[in-house]
Chains A and B, each alone.
Chain A
Amino acid sequence: MKKYIFKAAFVLSMALSLVSCQDWITAPSPAVTKLSDFFASGSTAIQAVNGAYVPLMWEFNSTYFPEWFIGDVVSDDALKGGQSIGDMSIVYDMENFKTATNNAYLLDFYRAQYIGIGRCNLVLDQVPGMKTDALLTASVKNRVIGEAKYLRAMYYFRLVRIFGGVPKVDFVVRSSKQWVQPRATADSINSFIISDLKSANSLLWKKSKYTSGDLGRATKGAAQAMLLKTYLYTKQFDMAKSWGDSIINSGEYSLVTNYADNFTLGGENGKESIFEIQYMAEGTSDYGNGDGFTRGTFTTILTRSRAPKVGGWGFNKPTQNLYNEYETKDPRRDATIINPTDAEIANPAEEIYLGCRYLNKKYALMNPDSTYIGMSHPTRGPINNKVIRYADVLLMYAEACCEINNLVAAKTALESVRSRARGTSAILPTFPYGTYADNQTDLRKAIRHERRVELAMEGHRWFDLVRWGIAKETMDAYKATETTAAQTEMATFEKGKHELFPIPAAEIDLNPMAQNPGY
């Protein structure tokens, strides 16, 4: 009996200790911030949205793959470049329409955009329910929500124009039970982008409202420009025009006098800038576990010459075809393309790629005297990625007006870009000129020509060709102009297939969905 009592007491004391010890076990670990404890004060909302911008700057995952590897390299504007055709060979595959479904750069790019989307979803999940405070005023809170919506639209836009429809996820994925999502159509992704952007437009601040310390955030103008762009991509030209009107009439933006100033460090976030991905100079800029996360961009080292005294990697080399597209004496050509002299080419085997000697100047970070600006980090440069410039908006606006047959407005917008380009000399005639007669068809051609030369090597061309539906004929015609060496590497563009890149096979394995046609 005595033993029984002892036992009972023992069991009871164990049970009691268990109750109190449950707390002991589940107490939060030191130096760890649980998600549920984080969103306590206004500053956290701002931090969370800051984090949502970051995947934009990722040239993702131990690779160096900015979006221009598609926008420029796949198009008729540029050849891949690099040391040899085997240097970044899977970009070579994309350039030459040989993309495999296991292309690692596309996979990494795809994943990076969704990480961005996930971060936006986190903000949109948490911030609307937060109380306002001294830092998070109602206006700031709206702005933060607007930024997240704008960014989410940006990420989906970057996905949909490369891959077509993708899974639409507008919530925080907390459990593996949510790991299967259907592939949405491209139309429904575009509608989602538009609804996010409209909402962002109503919540975001004008660029002029931001203090200088907040320069670089998404603005109302940026949301409107993206609306213009998305409507243009979806061929809703009336809507496109009306959003173009909003930007132009806002008075927030204008063209800088000197075209080349857009590509200097001094010209960053200037009056022509609508949205830029921000990069900065920092000697200790890191690779983050080899994953390529950083505060600087690889673009500069990637595009600079391979000449030993420059030490770049020689990618994204402008084609002869682009070089020839410029009108005689168009000053934008020499602001865009470096044509090295024979003396400047130390090692032709490495510096001339498939017969192409040109180099991209826009992101090469050069002084006005064409010497190279030193970088504090050996490979990571400070130059921002100009995602949307006002000149781009004007040309998109011109295009929208042209398509709805408002040729006057279209010509005005076109002329404003041309007049800035020509500066004070009369080298670029006003429309109509040359082979372009004064009709809608020729105006369309003139606008397209202008888009190519104004925005060359800024990552737009491929996406323009695809949305204009002229990728096949343009690429076929371009191929004929290439060197024999380049031509032998190229495969033929197939209509109905090569407009899109394949959904990464690894992602289809993880979330079963239909592959794009032809892959």
Chain B
Amino acid sequence: MKKTLLLLLTFAFAALVSAQTWQVSGVVTSSDDGLALTGVSVMVQGVSGMGTITDIDGKYSVKVPQGKSIVFSYIGYLPQTKLINTSTTINVVLQANTKMLDEVVAIGYGTMKKSDLTGAVTSVGSDKIKERPVSGIDQALQGRAAGVTVNSNSGQPGASAVVRIRGIGSINSNSNPIYVVDGVILDDISFLSPSDIATTEILKDASATAIFGSRGANGVILVTTKRGSDNPKGNISVDSYFGVQNRWNKLSLMGRDEFAKTISTFDGSNDYLTQYGLNKWIEAYKTGTKSQYFPKIKTDAYPQGMDYNTVDTDWQDAVFQKDATIQNHHISIDGGSKTSNYAISASYFDQNGTVMGSNYNRFTLRVNTAHNIRSWLKIGENLSFMTSTGRNAMNNNAQPGASVLSAALAMAPWDPTHYPQGAWSYSTVAKGGYPQGRDLSGQISASSNFKNVTNPFSMVQNIVPKDVAERWVGDAYIEITPIKGLLIRSDISMDLANVNSKSFMYAFDYSSFDRNLVNHLSSSMAKYSTIINENTATYNKKIGKHEFSVLVGETSQEFNYYKLSGSGSYITNPEEKNWYLQFTANKPTSTNPDSVRGVGDEVARTRMLSLLSRVNYKFDNKYMITLNFRMDGSNKFPENPWGYFPSVALGWKISEEAFMKEIQNLDYMKLRLGWGQIGNEKIPSNSFQTNMFITGPTFSDYILGSTQSLASGATVLTYANQGGKWETHEQWNAGVDFGFFKGLISGTVDIFRKDTKDALLTVKGPAFAGNLYDPMKNVGNIRNEGIEIMLDHKNKIGSFNYSLSGNVSFIRNELTKLNGGQKMYNGIDNILLCDEGLPVNTFWGYKYLGVFKSDAEALAYTNKTATIIQPGAVGGDAKFLDLNGDGKIDDSDKMNLGNPFPWLTYGLSASVDYKGFDMQLFFQGVYGNQIYNQVRYRTEGKGEEATLSTAMRDVWTTTNPAGNIPNPYGSTNNFRASSRFIEDGAYLRLKDIQLGYTIPKSITQKVQINRLRIYVSGNNLLTFTKYTGYDPEIGGGIDYGNYPQARTMLVGVNLGF
């Protein structure tokens, strides 16, 4: 009765006051931790523009017209609606949305409810992206998503990782996915700080990527950066970390005495070293003309000579840096109003390498704004600026001197890094000869006494590269809604990069190999630009149980590259301020006979034009269908520029069906099936265009005339193969998404088959085709098939929250057909093979069976017909499998020795939080791949290419006939491409462990701080692997002494106010 009266009074009051509203206020807190939620939207239902958001204390106050409800909504929480019928205080506890199914995800040219997706899409949250201290999102994705194989190629600061989505789809053409950052299509995402990322979606199957057409053939990584909010007060957040990095592993190499002794006992020679000492031994070695780089050795006759007994350099210790610093600082501010919003951020990343002479730093600035000008008109833009500099210490390639680390291995322990002061030197030798070890004043020592490699200190100190990259990435768009449901959008995006590279090389002269007699400067300015114009129209309509969305659009794209470069030498005063071409000598003089400046330029352009369309249709919120059709035109196929690529996908929310409601504990379940074709054209621009080569002298200029000068020539170097066309990737995908036990368990399983048809391969024609370089041809078929599983478990016990998530993917790759193309070999000693019926880049070689312990054993190695299989082999030589039993070892005995690409990749993460403490663990691993450890080729050799590994204690010699390592002085076949150096590449690594503490809000709010979390984190602390090289995380499967990953310890802070 009392209630009724009150109601009556209320209505009466409402009738009296024209704008009758209730004043409602309260506090919104989270069900997770009971803490106040800031920025929760508190909107009056059905009245546009009425509402507010909660303040820093979670408080709100809003006026509500009579009879209306207010809706509390916040990202990541289930919305709540309260009917208001009085002025009152309503405190709301928002429940965390554990299902998260209805989050909206980007799908390319639009967004979609996650529950409506029909394609294979994996989301990776920004918390995961930010967890590890890496410079780029590519590395941050490692182990986070099933079907995505990320290989940290190198521990080089700033190095990008190799990302493969669902295997290797192409051989010669590029298999990298594309990145779409806020709608801007990019090949390289190094400009973006991981801290700027709000969400990441990985589009894997053909129907999901189809809208990007040929650009998406190898998968698409959609990145949405942080947007502005409608919080007029703005949010400020600061994320910083600082840490130190160290090598986690070291090769076990011999020290000076053991190394010298070991090589002196090779060949069965007596142990000269033990008898006469190191100096004498080196003297003997030198007079045996093994090397010309030894400085004069200390003897009684030359007391000022060098005493090798005093030098025992650990070259690994010499080039690895201890406690190399890494730091990242990121600040972002976002906010806005109902009509405009903004997000601005700046960040600085700086990393010194664990290997001498490597570093990287980057500054980024990013601005996003959006403005609702009219109810039907919206404009906005995203703009990023990045500038970076860095220095590489490494290349993972076969040249012993290609990198600092590789050169360090090639130096002997008795080679000092720098000569001791006063060492005796040869100034010059006979005319035509070279200076030998030379120094009196502590300068860098000569290159290795054994092998012609550059002293790594010489590499770092005498060659000064300075690369400065600047990049602007941005887009501006306009969106018009002429009628309800129709959105017309036009977008122009650009990606402009300038790379200014300069390299100065000092004049120095340490040995005939390690010298540069005049200083030299090369400088270049390269400009890359991609401009894309996209115009799309989307129409959404719901009629009864039918919901559909139609997209049509057109995009055009032009890529331009221009590089201007110059070089010169003889800078008179070679200080850094004079490292400009203008200071180089321009005219030959008698003293500077070669001083001519060189200039050159390069230019390239590619163009693409596409028409795209997509229809999404949903019936009764149960049945979904997505159709795509795209038509792509590219200048790379002059005879067949157009490719036509359809796709279709079906989705069925089976859990919505009545018969499924019976199943207990099933939250939801959706089945998906998709098929589609996508084109790929990632090949060099003029691959199918026969061009004249007119820029001699190399290859085309001949020498004519009595005075012999170059006569300009022209010819065709490669006849492009007529009729080149698009490579097509066809993919089937079937998947299921599910959730059980009210959010305790959720997951996704996908199975796919991806066939690459008409794969574009560089093929060798017969000699009479007359090609200097091989042309491209549509030849191969490649199949990738696999299964991807992701499982999540989240639970809460009291105030103890924990979650476990894991992903695993199995993938099988095969080059199914070459269609007349030739098998291709890659890598050192052609160890990698691409051939029909094998995975792309299979390790291919002889099966190594061990060491013949004696001559007799070698002779006894016969086939069925008693043919000696390895005639000429003696004790100490390697034994190989005669695969076909024909009594000889030849090419037909080569076999599949493994695959550099793992068939199993997985990631496991766990997180717990309890009363402000949180902890994350993240494991990542691969299984089933092999690595060719080419470093062992050197460290288990004669000792002339590198300091020997301690494994060589087990080398076969006449005095150690039980040795299990082949005699390096035996047959050259001992080192041929075989399983001898192939190792298991599997590893499991604790990528990250993090412990954080969030200081209670009750304390921090007193100083206006919304959130303050401090944490410590360790990266790569544990690695389980059988691999004996520096690091099993290696790109390409061949380890030439790659830059290993660092073990990092850091402290960080997350601050929000």
Instruction: Give chain A's interface residues, CB within 8 Å of chain B.
Output: 10, 14, 17-18, 21-22, 24-27, 29-35, 38, 44, 47-48, 50-54, 57, 86, 102, 110-111, 113-115, 117-119, 121-122, 167, 169, 172-176, 178-181, 212-217, 268-269, 278-281, 283-284, 286, 288, 293-295, 308-311, 347, 349-350, 382, 507, 509-511
Residues of B within 8 A of A24 (CB): 556, 607, 609
Q: Does B635 contact A (CB under 8 A)?
A: yes
- Given known pairs A47-B712, A215-B705, the reply for A114 and B768 (CB within 8 Å) is yes
Give A494 to B554 CA distance when docked, in angstroms: 71
Residues of A within 8 A of B700 (CB): 47, 50-51, 54
Closest to A372 in B: B432
Give A295 to B605 CA distance when docked, in angstroms: 32
Partner of B721, one of A33, A176, A509: A176
Give A311 to B694 CA distance when docked, in angstroms: 36
- Given known pairs A26-B641, A213-B705, A308-B430, the reply for A173 and B768 (CB within 8 Å) is yes
Q: Does B589 contact A (CB under 8 A)?
A: no
Whether the pair A35, B641 counts as a contact (CB closer than 8 A) is no
Whether the pair A25, B704 counts as a contact (CB closer than 8 A) is no
Residues 631 to 686 of chain B near chain A (Cβ within 8 Å): 633-635, 638, 641, 685-686
Partner of A179, one of B594, B607, B694, B769: B769
Closest to A120 in B: B770
- Shortest beta-carbon distance from A186 to chain B in Å: 16
Residues of A within 8 A of B605 (CB): 29-30
Whether the pair A216, B705 counts as a contact (CB closer than 8 A) is yes
Give A17 to B698 CA distance when docked, in angstroms: 43
- Given known pairs A14-B554, A34-B692, the reply for A26 and B714 (CB within 8 Å) is no
Q: Does B309 contact A (CB under 8 A)?
A: no
Whether the pair A29, B721 counts as a contact (CB closer than 8 A) is no
Whether the pair A25, B691 counts as a contact (CB closer than 8 A) is no
Residues of A within 8 A of B708 (CB): 216, 268, 278, 280-281, 382
5 contacts between A and B (CB under 8 A): A27-B607, A33-B692, A114-B768, A173-B768, A213-B705
Q: Does B777 contact A (CB under 8 A)?
A: yes
Give A22 to B608 CA distance when docked, in angstroms: 10
Residues of B within 8 A of A38 (CB): 692, 694, 714
- Given known pairs A25-B608, A29-B605, A122-B715, the reply for A34 and B694 (CB within 8 Å) is no
Partner of B703, one of A17, A122, A278, A311: A278
Residues of B within 8 A of A14 (CB): 552, 554, 611
Whether the pair A114, B594 counts as a contact (CB closer than 8 A) is no
Closest to B483 in A: A3
Closest to B556 in A: A21
Partner of A26, one of B430, B635, B690, B691: B635
- Given known pairs A115-B770, A119-B715, A179-B765, the reply for A280 and B703 (CB within 8 Å) is yes
Whether the pair B766, A510 counts as a contact (CB closer than 8 A) is yes
Residue interface mask B235-279, A partner, CB < 8 A = 1: 000000000000000000000000000000000000000000000
Q: Does B785 contact A (CB under 8 A)?
A: no
Partner of B768, one of A48, A294, A309, A511: A511
Partner of B763, one of A34, A111, A176, A308: A176
Residues 580 to 636 of chain B near chain A (Cβ within 8 Å): 593-594, 603-609, 611, 633-635
- Given known pairs A114-B770, A288-B698, the reply for A48 and B713 (CB within 8 Å) is yes
Give A215 to B702 CA distance when docked, in angstroms: 12
- Shortest beta-carbon distance from B482 to chain A in Å: 9
Whether the pair B604, A29 counts as a contact (CB closer than 8 A) is yes
Closest to B593 in A: A283
Give A14 to B771 CA distance when docked, in angstroms: 41
Closest to B691 in A: A32
Give A286 to B775 CA distance when docked, in angstroms: 24
Closest to B823 in A: A509
Give A48 to B714 CA distance when docked, in angstroms: 5
- Given known pairs A122-B715, A173-B719, A215-B705, the reply for A510 and B764 (CB within 8 Å) is yes
Residues of A within 8 A of B694 (CB): 33, 38, 47
- Shortest beta-carbon distance from A205 to chain B in Å: 14
Partner of A47, one of B690, B714, B722: B714
Whether the pair B433, A308 counts as a contact (CB closer than 8 A) is yes
Give A441 to B690 CA distance when docked, in angstroms: 57
Q: A176-B777, A507-B767, A511-B768 are in contact. List 5 more A-B contacts (CB 8 A).
A: A114-B770, A179-B766, A216-B703, A280-B710, A510-B766
Whether the pair B765, A50 counts as a contact (CB closer than 8 A) is no
Residues of B within 8 A of A269 (CB): 706
Give A212 to B607 CA distance when docked, in angstroms: 48
Give A18 to B609 CA distance when docked, in angstroms: 8
Give A199 to B348 CA distance when docked, in angstroms: 73
Give A85 to B153 CA distance when docked, in angstroms: 40
- Given known pairs A122-B716, A167-B766, A176-B777, the reply for A50 and B704 (CB within 8 Å) is yes
Q: Does B828 contact A (CB under 8 A)?
A: no
Closest to A47 in B: B714
Partner of A30, one of B603, B701, B716: B603
Residues of B within 8 A of A113 (CB): 767
- Shortest beta-carbon distance from B994 to chain A in Å: 48
Residues of A within 8 A of B704 (CB): 50, 213-217, 278
Q: Which of B606, B699, B700, B704 has the most CB of A within 10 A?
A: B704
Give A419 to B537 CA distance when docked, in angstroms: 94
Partner of B432, one of A10, A29, A179, A311: A311
Residues of A within 8 A of B604 (CB): 29-30
Give A213 to B704 CA distance when docked, in angstroms: 6
Closest to B763 in A: A176
Give A50 to B775 CA distance when docked, in angstroms: 23
Whether the pair B767, A121 counts as a contact (CB closer than 8 A) is no
Q: Does B517 contact A (CB under 8 A)?
A: no
Residues of B within 8 A of A10 (CB): 537, 552
Partner of A50, one of B607, B635, B701, B723: B701
Residue interface mask B935-947, A partner, CB < 8 A = 1: 0000000000000
Whether the pair A115, B771 counts as a contact (CB closer than 8 A) is yes
- Given known pairs A21-B633, A54-B700, A510-B766, the reply for A309 and B712 (CB within 8 Å) is no
Q: Does B689 contact A (CB under 8 A)?
A: yes
- Shortest beta-carbon distance from B521 to chain A in Å: 17
Residues of B within 8 A of A32 (CB): 686, 689, 691
Give A486 to B707 CA distance when docked, in angstroms: 43
Q: Which of A35, A110, A181, A269 has the most CB of B within 10 A?
A: A35
- Shortest beta-carbon distance from A298 to chain B in Å: 15
- Shortest beta-carbon distance from B47 to chain A in Å: 31
Q: Does B711 contact A (CB under 8 A)?
A: yes
Q: Does B431 contact A (CB under 8 A)?
A: yes
- Shortest beta-carbon distance from A214 to chain B in Å: 6
Whether the pair B641, A212 counts as a contact (CB closer than 8 A) is no
Residues of B within 8 A of A311 (CB): 432-433
Residues of B within 8 A of A174 (CB): 690, 719, 722
- Shortest beta-carbon distance from A86 to chain B in Å: 7
Closest to B694 in A: A33
Closest to B609 in A: A21
Give A382 to B703 CA distance when docked, in angstroms: 11
- Shortest beta-carbon distance from A25 to chain B in Å: 5
- Shortest beta-carbon distance from A422 to chain B in Å: 30
- Given known pairs A173-B770, A216-B704, the reply for A510 and B638 (CB within 8 Å) is no
Whether the pair B770, A309 counts as a contact (CB closer than 8 A) is no
Q: Does B125 contact A (CB under 8 A)?
A: no
Residues of A within 8 A of B607 (CB): 24-25, 27
Q: Does B375 contact A (CB under 8 A)?
A: no
Partner of B770, one of A47, A118, A214: A118
Whether the pair A175, B822 counts as a contact (CB closer than 8 A) is no
Give A382 to B686 CA distance when docked, in angstroms: 36
Q: Which of B700, B703, B716, B763 has the most CB of A within 10 A?
A: B703
Whether the pair B594, A52 counts as a contact (CB closer than 8 A) is no
Q: Does B697 contact A (CB under 8 A)?
A: yes
Q: Does B772 contact A (CB under 8 A)?
A: yes
Whether the pair B715, A288 counts as a contact (CB closer than 8 A) is no
Q: Does B289 contact A (CB under 8 A)?
A: yes
